């Protein structure tokens, strides 16, 4: 008997016992659907994270206080942090010639009010070079100037999310007054919509002059008189000069921080590529983990297939004896039951594939930022695993059926 005939008989068996077949395939269906959906969501998260880092700007280096492990692990405290003096040193083209712009950030979360509206958001103090370095520009009004920084001006530029919450009726914000921690600020600009994931809304912020943040809102002066900063962005001339720029920054800061040649840095310089790579590894591991968890359902489905095939062998004992009596060989019976098991698994896998792709489309429709991407490698892998599960868990029932003695099988009641 050829494989085509075995396949036809397997389909007839499925059609004759629809409910039992569906219940048998349920584990495979759930497993394949879960694998495809979860892996697709994982890929979507990876794209969101990568896109957010790429949107920060071009050829950026991030200088942060303390140290990161070589594997980008948890930050280890060190030194007294970064200061305005570090910003001044890194801004000197004679000290760091491969850096064309340096932008510090210093800020905290604070309560912002306007009339009856109130919101808690991130107040970020920075410098006028912020839009060019971060590739993030105002769409209305203007950004603050060097004079605003020098005079500690109480001016603010709103992100889109904050604007929508403070101005729910859509009125123009330019020239309006808001209060940050009960201190009056005048709105001079509105930033473009940057977007972001649900975990990190890049539009949920207010930008103010860094000196205003350091001296009026969140006192940043250290005992030695220097003003703290949380983070420094350094824009490199071009991508080819990043390694040289990192070396220049490290040498300049080690000298400023009085670090001897034997001591470790009390700061970390990280490139955009390193951050994207590090988070890509994290999301990649998460995607694999989700896929493995979902794949457990495939194992459960395989056990279900073996169970029902053993029942089928018992139910069809007389049929097997009759087939052997009229000339069917041992391998004919073996292939018949193997093909039935694989057909059950692959059919369940195809149904799971359709459900998984439908789930991916539903998630895409529910989120503007997270767009799950169907991983066709995972699709083909899930179908291949389904067939393998059917083959693996169908071997024992098929072998048992093929080993039946035809005379005893014909006598079976």
Are 173 and 190 spatial neighbours (Cβ–Cβ below 8 Å)?
yes
8-state DSSP, 126: E
Average pLDDT of span 144-153? 95
Dihedrals phi, psi of 73, to nearest 5 degrees: -80, -165
What's the pLDDT score for residue 104? 95
Terminal alpha carbon distance of the chain? 26
132: left (phi over 0), alpha (psi -120 to 50) or beta: alpha
- Tell me: the pLDDT tens digits for 127-136? 999 999 988 9
> How many CB atoms sit inside 10 A of residue 96's CB?
22
Q: How confident is the model at residue 74 (pLDDT cuts 50, 70, 90)?
A: very low
What's the pLDDT score for residue 32? 84
Q: How confident is the model at residue 227 (pLDDT cuts 50, 70, 90)?
A: very high
How far apart CA 162 and CA 173 sit, in angstroms, is: 11
What is residue 101's three-state secondary structure? strand
HSE-up of residue 139 (Cα within 13 Å, Cβ side): 10
Which has the minimum average pLDDT: 68-72, 165-169, 282-286?
Answer: 68-72
What's the pLDDT score for residue 266? 85
- Tell me: the pLDDT tens digits for 93-125? 999 999 999 999 999 999 999 988 999 999 999
Are 206 and 124 spatial neighbours (Cβ–Cβ below 8 Å)?
yes
Are 339 and 6 spatial neighbours (Cβ–Cβ below 8 Å)?
yes
Cβ neighbors of 157 (< 8 A, separation 6 or more) are 138, 141, 143, 144, 187, 188, 189, 190, 191, 206, 207, 208
Query: DSSP letters along 189-224, please?
Result: EEEPP--EETTEETTSEEEEEHHHIIIIIS--B-TT
What's the pLDDT score for residue 76? 45
Q: pTM to 2 decimals?
A: 0.65
- Tell me: the pLDDT tens digits for 318-337? 777 777 777 777 777 777 77
Average pLDDT of span 290-311? 76
């Amino acid at each position: 008997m050829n494989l085509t005939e075995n396949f036809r008989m397997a389909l007839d068996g499925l059609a004759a016992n629809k409910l039992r077949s569906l219940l048998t395939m349920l584990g495979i269906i759930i497993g394949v659907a879960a694998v495809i959906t979860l892996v697709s969501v994982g890929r979507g998260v990876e794209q969101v994270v990568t896109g957010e880092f790429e949107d920060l700007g071009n050829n950026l280096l991030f200088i942060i206080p303390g140290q990161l492990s070589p594997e980008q692990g948890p930050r280890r405290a060190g030194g007294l942090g970064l200061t305005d003096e570090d910003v001044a040193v890194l801004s000197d083209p004679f000290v760091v010639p491969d850096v064309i712009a340096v932008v510090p950030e210093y800020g905290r979360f604070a309560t912002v009010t306007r009339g009856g509206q109130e919101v808690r958001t991130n107040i970020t103090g920075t410098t006028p070079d912020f839009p060019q370095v971060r590739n993030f520009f105002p769409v209305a009004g203007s950004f603050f100037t060097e004079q605003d920084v020098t005079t500690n001006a109480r001016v603010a530029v709103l992100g889109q999310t904050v604007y929508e919450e403070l101005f729910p009726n859509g009125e123009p914000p330019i020239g309006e007054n808001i209060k940050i921690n009960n201190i009056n600020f005048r709105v001079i600009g509105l930033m473009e919509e940057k977007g972001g994931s649900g975990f990190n809304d890049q539009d949920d912020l207010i930008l103010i002059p860094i000196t205003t943040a350091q001296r009026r809102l969140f006192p940043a002066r250290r005992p030695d008189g220097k003003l703290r900063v949380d983070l420094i962005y350094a824009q490199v001339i071009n991508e080819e000069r990043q390694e040289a720029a990192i070396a220049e920054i490290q040498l300049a800061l080690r000298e400023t921080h009085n670090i001897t040649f034997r001591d470790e840095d009390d700061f970390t310089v990280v490139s955009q590529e390193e951050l994207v790579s590090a988070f890509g590894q994290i999301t990649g591991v998460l995607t694999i983990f989700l896929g493995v968890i979902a794949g457990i359902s495939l194992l459960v489905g395989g056990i279900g297939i073996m169970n029902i095939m053993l029942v089928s062998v018992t139910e069809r004992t007389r049929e097997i004896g009759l087939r052997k009596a009229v000339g069917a060989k041992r391998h004919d019976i073996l292939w018949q039951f193997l093909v039935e098991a694989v057909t059950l698994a692959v059919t369940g896998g195809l149904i799971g594939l359709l459900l998984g792709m439908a789930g991916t489309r539903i998630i895409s429709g529910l989120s503007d930022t997270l767009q799950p991407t169907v991983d066709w490698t995972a699709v083909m892998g899930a179908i291949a695993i389904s067939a393998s599960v059917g083959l693996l868990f169908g071997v024992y029932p098929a072998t048992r059926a093929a080993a039946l003695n035809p005379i005893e099988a014909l006598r079976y009641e």
